[in-house]
Amino acid sequence: MEQQQKCAIVTGGGRGLGRAICLKLAAEGYDLVTCYAHSASAAEETMNECSALGVRAIAVQADVSVEEDVAALFAKAKETFGRIDVLVNNAGITRDDLLLKMTADKFDEVIATNLRGSFLCTKVAAKEMLRQKSGRIIYLSSVVGIHGNAGQTNYAASKAGLIGLAKSTAKELGSRGITANVIAPGFMETEMTASLPEEVKKEYEKSIPLRRFGKAEDIADAVAFLASDAAGYITGQVLQVDGGMGM
């Protein structure tokens, strides 16, 4: 029997790190599913680029913080591709403010998308992976989730929570051939950092031993490794892709 092509789900894959991850996995031969809450055009464009690399790729509208949306997302993936081999929990938002000014709504909104969303996706993916007795679950955290950051108590809490979620998932599912790992990016070249004044960028770069911001492709390469057979004996780990700033 011909072996089925592997399928990867990347949440929030329309732009930024998610887009780079989708393109990398497509280049590695994975069929792709991504979801978007609002930016349909960006998600469709990314999936078209993935399709141009010779794989099948679809975009599905889904809010990862809504249980019914997550169920529908995974049902569509299974219906279309027959299996789910890799889950990359990438979808995330920021609502930055100082602790004393931060509203409960801002805190809850970030936790709902970044942490609850990853929990909901992991739970559904795990059921399918348990049947297959194999799978890779990867979480996009942040060095902020390890070290904290002023003005980001909600974001840092959500990203720290992903580390606990991943380690617990690794312990629960490891005996069935399923790995769960975390990637913690440092300062990356993104739309947000592109708007920083040059003098501010230079100050940040001084804290990075490699003296540069990371590229989205640096994160995509790390995801591709953790998704591969070469990483089959790695689970419950946090890989800091930060140019050494977290040392």
Hey, which residues are catalytic here? 155
Residue 105 to residues 101, 108, 141, 154: CA-CA distances in angstroms?
11, 5, 21, 10
Which own/partner pairs from 42-46 qualify as long-range (CB within 8 Å, at least 24 positions apart)? 42/14, 42/15, 43/13, 43/14, 45/14, 46/13, 46/14, 46/15, 46/18, 46/19, 46/22
Give the integer Cα–Cα distance in Å for 8 and 219: 16
Contact 214, 185 (CB under 8 A): yes
Largest CA distance in the chain: 61
Q: What DSSP state is assigned to residue 11?
A: E
Amino acid residing at 31: D
Helix (H) or strand (E) holding 87: strand 86-89
Measured between its terminal Cα atoms, the distance across the chain in Å is 49
